[in-house]
Amino acid sequence: MSPLPPEAPPLAPPVEPEHAIDEAGGTVAALAALSTVDTTVFDGVRDRAAAIVLRYPQARSALLPLLHLVQHVEGHVSRAGIAFCAEVLEITTAEVSAVATFYTMYKREPVGRHLVSVCTNTLCAALGGDDIYAAVRERLGGIGHEQTSADGTATVEHAECLAACDLAPVLTVDYEFFDNQTVASAVEIIEALQRGEKPHPTRGAPLTDFRSVELLLAGFFDDPAVGGLEAVAGPSAAEESLRGARLAEERGWTAPPVPDRETERSGARPGNEGANA
Ligand code: FES
């Protein structure tokens, strides 16, 4: 007697129309809802949006600065913001969502007046970054990652390397650096922000606020809304970071030449060009 054929796998349950995935990766219902979102809140920045688009040979390349412009208006990327970008760039809301949810600089919830980012990556953590993060959260009312204090002063987040390891532990406020921090100095910064003050970063531009910085990140560096170019000027390199370059200069050290691809492909070695002649 021949063995019974293996049981056929159960059929997948039918997909409800509102859960169907379109070719761009969004649910049909969610995308349809986004296409009807009111975007009039962005009417005041439509000229700026058009100026951003003109910087690029293809409109879709303008998405990243356009998302910063959205955050300048609303303090985060809302559903209306996603719909606005899709409308301006003539791309799908799914394409905008995919980008907006990939990069941590685009926020899904409204950010407070300031964004405080505390580095808790290896070097900063080893030098006190975890304690600083805990103290900052505590001073802001016991809030957690990407939460905002009840008075709206600041949203806090832990960051994984703010690219200032030689000055660890560091935190940034609206992306401006406060280097070589301690628990006490970090708490002082938060208390100053709560009083409405703008403590001066240890390097870089003077503080403004999160939404103004978002206008800068959208590429409007000399916009009167952020105080003009003088408001964003400031030396950004720290002496510690330049030390290696200065030593190399003093001692005449240079990097070895980088072989170009053509030379490599032809098998010749740089500096040996005449060997096969
Ligand atoms: S580990 Fe904190 S800046 Fe790199």
**119 ligand 1 Cβ < 6 A:** yes
Confidence bin at 268 (pLDDT 50/70/90): low
Nearest to 113 by CA among 79, 145, 140, 84: 140
Residues in the chain: 277
**Average confidence (pLDDT) over 186-205:** 96
**118 ligand 1 Cβ < 6 A:** no
Residue 191's pLDDT is 98
User: Of 15 and 211, which is predicted with more confidence?
Assistant: 211
Q: β-strands 154-159, 176-178: how paired? A: unpaired
CA atoms of 228 and 206, how far apart (whole Å): 12
- Count of CB atoms situated within 10 Å of the CB of 265: 8
* Cis ω for the linkage preceding 257 (within 30 of 0): no
pLDDT at 269 over 80: no
**238 ligand 1 Cβ < 6 A:** no
Q: Which residues pair with 114 in a beta bridge?
A: 154
**34 ligand 1 Cβ < 6 A:** no
pLDDT at 202 over 60: yes
**162 ligand 1 Cβ < 6 A:** yes
pLDDT at 228 over 50: yes
**Average confidence (pLDDT) over 26-37:** 62
Residue with tokens 């070097």: 123
User: Of 90 and 7, which is predicted with more confidence?
Assistant: 90
Extract the tokens encoding 117. 């980012």
pLDDT tens digits along 34-48: 567 999 999 999 999
**Average confidence (pLDDT) over 229-255:** 86
**Average confidence (pLDDT) over 30-37:** 65
Atom number, ligand 1, closest to the C-alpha of residue 119: 2
CA atoms of 77 and 85, how far apart (whole Å): 10
Give start and end residues of each alpha helix (H) in 205-238.
210-217
* Strand arrangement, sheet containing 147-148: 147-148, 154-159, 114-119, 171-173, 176-178
Please give the angle made by the CA atoms of 144, 101 and 131, to the nearest 5 degrees: 25
Say what the alpha-carbon torsion angle 146, 148, 153, 156 is, to the nearest 10 degrees: -20
Kindly list the domain boundaries of the chain, sorted by start residue: 17-100, 114-208
Residue 261's pLDDT is 75
Task: Confirm or reject CATH 3.40.30.10 for domain 114-208, answering yes or no.
Answer: yes
pLDDT tens digits along 93-147: 999 999 999 999 999 999 999 999 999 999 999 999 999 999 999 999 999 999 9
**111 ligand 1 Cβ < 6 A:** no
**226 ligand 1 Cβ < 6 A:** no
Residue 28's pLDDT is 56
CA atoms of 261 and 220, how far apart (whole Å): 38
**Residue 251 Cα, ligand 1 centroid: separation in angstroms?**
29
User: Of 250 and 11, which is predicted with more confidence?
Assistant: 250
Helices 63-74 and 46-53 meet at what angle, rounded to 10? 160
Confidence bin at 23 (pLDDT 50/70/90): very low
Judge contact between 243 and 215, C-beta under 8 A.
Answer: no
- Distances in Å between the Cα of 232 and the Cα atoms of 35, 40, 225 are 37, 30, 12
Residue 223's pLDDT is 78
pLDDT tens digits along 59-73: 999 999 999 999 999
**Residue 165 Cα, ligand 1 centroid: separation in angstroms?**
4
pLDDT at 25 over 90: no
Question: Which residues are CB-contacts of 10 (< 8 A; sequence separation ≥ 6)?
Answer: none
